[in-house]
């Protein structure tokens, strides 16, 4: 018989030995909260939201980095032919 591992909430970064990127893993188990007091459920939902906002911040930063490294589009130039 194998034991089930309890899910954890969090962000894990796995450093890669090759290439320019590391891996980011986000774990967000969704427990059934009905048996908990309302105040506790509200705190847990707020914490879940904060995790998502942290992920958004990481993604925004990654997008900015990609946009900085993109080559600027070349503008067409009008050339007069005689």
Write the pLDDT tens digit of every residue in 8-57: 677 777 888 888 888 877 776 666 767 778 898 889 889 989 988 998 99
Instruction: Please report, for residues 12, 53, 65, the alpha-carbon distance to residue 47 in angstroms, rounded to integers and kept in the order given.
Output: 17, 10, 27
pLDDT on residue 8:
67
Q: Do 22 and 16 contact (CB within 8 A), yes or no?
A: yes
């Amino acid at each position: 018989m194998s034991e089930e591992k309890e899910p954890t909430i969090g962000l894990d970064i796995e450093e890669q030995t090759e290439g320019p990127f590391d891996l980011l893993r986000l774990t967000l188990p969704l427990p059934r909260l009905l048996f908990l007091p309302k105040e506790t459920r509200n705190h847990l939902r707020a914490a879940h939201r904060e995790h998502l906002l942290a992920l958004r911040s990481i993604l925004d930063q990654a997008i900015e980095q990609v946009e900085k490294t993109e080559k600027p589009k070349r503008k067409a130039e009008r050339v007069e032919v005689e």
